[in-house]
Amino acid sequence: MAVIPVPERLLHPMEFPRKLLMGPGPANAPPRVLAAGALPLLGHLHPEFVQIMDDCKSGIQYAFQTENPVTLAISGTGHAAMEAACCNLVEAGDVVLVLCAGIWGHRFADMVDRHDGVVKKLNKPAGETFSLSDIEQGLRAHNPKLLFVTHGESSSTTLQSLEGIGKLCHKFGCLVVVDSVAALGGVPLLQDAWELDVVYTGGQKVLSCPPGASPISFGPAAMKKVKSRKTKIRSFYLDINELANYWGCDGQPRRYHHTGPISNIYTLREALSILAEETLAKCWERHAKCAALLHDGLRQLGLELFVKNPECRLPTVTGIVVPPGVDWKKVADNAMAKYRVEISGGLGATAGKIWRVGLLGYNAEPENVKSVLSALKEGITLQKKSHL
């Protein structure tokens, strides 16, 4: 006899408001991508599904601009890809230099600590990025085996330039891991040309998929480190050797390791098709244009961008300074209640100080920029009136 009664709410359909997701993620998924997610399931090792995985692999290689054979999607969100980079590359006692210019560096540092790595942090205040000479000093001071850098710091809304970092790290015998969850697809990233050993991203940001499959690529030097580990990788689920086999990257027959998130992989395949049709160059350009449109509109409203140096502004996530006397939350709440438009607040050091507006993939369109600008304008005006 079941003693827990049937939950009454489950006997009714889900409620489904349509929202325009203009925060730092998830973005809205295009109808084509959502439709792909509704296709019938295949088995996780069926030849048709294996073909879809292979298509994803080449799409990720294109998106990352890499020829790395070990290129696949982690079954999980961006954090799982982050954990995969960490658990495969960090052994107890390894010194890891973590560039912290927002929450993501601190979070990776936490993961390194959980794997008994030795964390050394370089810090920058939110809104600023690292120069090559900052990084060189850190490399000289700490002699790390691994460096972690966030490409698009979505909490501080900064874009970290990656050019030169790979070469510099390699001069010091150090590998580099790049978190490009919030940036990839929205700004240039050339994994091979820039010598970036491990790069990962997420599904629900520029790729505009449902969250759940996160592209990652391990270069030859990173795989060499993995193969020469003295200790076992502490995660079975995220062991890159196992994943590389399941994804057909090691030339061996594919074995069951875990059941891939079939529907998520379908949506990723569709999103990568959309990117291939548009081309990377056009996608980067669209994000730059929309960001410029947003920035101009904000200036016209008398609002200030959080990141002062134009070159360090992340086109995919814009930080806007909350003017004195304005409650950021009331503006965001008004936008959601009246227009079903999501505008986010800050995160970490920027909490309470900024709004964050995402221009991610499918949502990076001029009409969405207009919706955000008018929602911001109305919310701020309403508050000023109520103070009179």
Ligand X SMILES: *Cc1c(COP(=O)(O)O)cnc(C)c1O
Q: d(Cα 164, Cα 319) in Å, to the nearest integer? A: 26
Using CB under 6 A as the binding criterion, the count of chain residues that bind ligand X stands at 14
Task: Please give the residues from 208 up to 247 whose contact with ligand X meets the rule CB under 6 A.
Answer: 211
**Identity of the residue, 202 or 215, whose beta carbon is nearer to ligand X in the bound complex:** 202
186 binds ligand X (CB under 6 A): no
Q: d(Cα 236, Cα 87) in Å, to the nearest integer? A: 10
Task: Please give the residues from 305 up to 344 whose contact with ligand X meets the rule CB under 6 A.
Answer: none
154 binds ligand X (CB under 6 A): yes
**Identity of the residue, 205 or 295, whose beta carbon is nearer to ligand X in the bound complex:** 205
Tokens, residue 172: 């010091």
152 binds ligand X (CB under 6 A): yes
Contact present, 144 and 115 (Cβ < 8 Å): no
179 binds ligand X (CB under 6 A): yes
What is the DSSP-derived secondary structure letter of residue 325? T
Contact present, 145 and 86 (Cβ < 8 Å): no
Min. distance of Cβ 155 from ligand X in angstroms? 8
Find all residues with CB under 8 Å of 367, minimum gap 6, and list them.
Answer: none
77 binds ligand X (CB under 6 A): yes
Contact present, 347 and 150 (Cβ < 8 Å): no
78 binds ligand X (CB under 6 A): yes
79 binds ligand X (CB under 6 A): yes
Q: How many CB atoms lie within 10 A of CB 3?
A: 4
Tokens, residue 232: 């076992």
Min. distance of Cβ 24 from ligand X in angstroms? 6
Q: d(Cα 197, Cα 171) in Å, to the nearest integer? A: 13
Task: Please give the residues from 43 up to 62 whose contact with ligand X meets the rule CB under 6 A.
Answer: none
Q: d(Cα 132, Cα 134) in Å, to the nearest integer? A: 5
Min. distance of Cβ 183 from ligand X in angstroms? 7
Q: d(Cα 299, Cα 376) in Å, to the nearest integer? A: 12
104 binds ligand X (CB under 6 A): yes
| x-or-dash string of contact with ligand X, 112-151, rule CB under 6 A | --------------------------------------x-
| Interacting residues with ligand X (CB under 6 A) | 24-25, 77-79, 104, 150, 152, 154, 179, 181-182, 202, 211
